[in-house]
């Protein structure tokens, strides 16, 4: 595993968070949230794919899709005015839901070294949606819950060795043993 990757994710989150609300416009925050959720999505699907873990890539895509669809369905059921008044699709935050689904998938498949910075980046996405005046804080809190639940429920922990064959031998003979993780 590339040990520089967690540092790159953390550095990206810190660089995005370095902009203060006084310096950034609503448009800047909205753009930052778009970039953040796209980066998390690419990382959640791309990392397992690069490692030859097709199941992990599919699970990440599935958890992100489930979180996005759930958020979209709830927007239809509970129309709420956005803080900027642009429409009635504030509750819950879809960006935050998808970002947290990606972070949870990364955490499950890649471990805490990359997963914790991914959760920090997902938190930044939620903050950026509030700062962009697109969501209330509770829209993002519910989105974070939806995404985390989807990621943890759909993504299975990665077991690098799900089956192992081990040869053995002693003075009286030899053979092979097989162990499987289910």
Length of the chain: 182
Lowest mean pLDDT among 1-10, 17-26, 58-67, 122-131: 1-10
Instruction: Give the pLDDT mean for 127-151.
Output: 96
Instruction: Give the pLDDT mean for 129-147.
Output: 96
pLDDT of res. 158:
67
Contact 121, 43 (CB under 8 A): no
Q: What is the pLDDT of residues 33-54, one digit of tens each?
A: 999 999 999 999 999 999 899 9
What confidence category does residue 174 fall into, taking pLDDT thresholds of 50, 70 and 90?
A: confident
pLDDT of res. 7:
46
3-state secondary structure of 171: coil
Q: How far apart are the first and last CA of the chain?
A: 24
Please provide the CATH number assigned to the domain covering 4-180.
1.20.144
Tokens of 166: 């081990």
Q: Considering the chain, what is the average pLDDT of its residues?
A: 85
pTM score, two decimals?
Answer: 0.77
Q: What is the pLDDT of residues 88-133, one digit of tens each?
A: 999 999 999 999 999 999 999 999 999 999 999 999 999 999 999 9
Residue with tokens 């943890």: 152
Helices (H), the chain: 4-17, 26-50, 54-77, 94-110, 112-131, 137-154
Instruction: Give the pLDDT mean for 13-22.
Output: 50
Task: Using alpha carbons, select from 144, 152, 151, 138 the residue that is nearest to residue 121.
Answer: 144
Q: Would you list the domain boundaries of the chain? A: 4-180
pLDDT of res. 25:
81
Instruction: Give the pLDDT mean for 64-85.
Output: 96
**CA pair distance 16, 36, nearest whole angstrom:** 9
Contact 53, 44 (CB under 8 A): no
Q: CA angle, corner 154, sides to 144 and 63, nearest 5?
A: 55
**CA pair distance 24, 124, nearest whole angstrom:** 14
């Amino acid at each position: 595993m590339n040990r520089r990757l967690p540092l790159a994710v953390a550095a990206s989150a810190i660089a995005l968070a370095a902009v203060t609300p006084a310096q950034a416009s609503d448009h800047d925050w909205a753009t930052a949230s778009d970039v953040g959720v796209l980066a998390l999505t690419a990382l959640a699907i791309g990392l397992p794919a690069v490692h030859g873990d097709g199941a992990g890539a599919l699970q990440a895509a599935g958890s992100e899709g489930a979180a996005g669809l759930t958020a979209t369905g709830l927007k239809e059921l509970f129309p709420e005015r956005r803080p900027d008044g642009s429409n009635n699709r504030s509750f819950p935050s879809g960006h935050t839901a998808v970002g947290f689904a990606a972070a949870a998938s990364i955490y499950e498949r890649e471990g805490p070294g990359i997963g914790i910075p991914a959760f920090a980046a997902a938190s930044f996405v939620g903050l950026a949606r509030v700062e962009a005046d697109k969501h209330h804080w509770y829209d993002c809190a519910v989105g974070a819950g939806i995404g985390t639940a989807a990621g943890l429920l759909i993504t299975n922990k990665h077991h690098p060795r799900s089956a192992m064959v081990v040869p053995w031998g002693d003075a009286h003979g030899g053979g092979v043993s097989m162990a499987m993780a289910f």
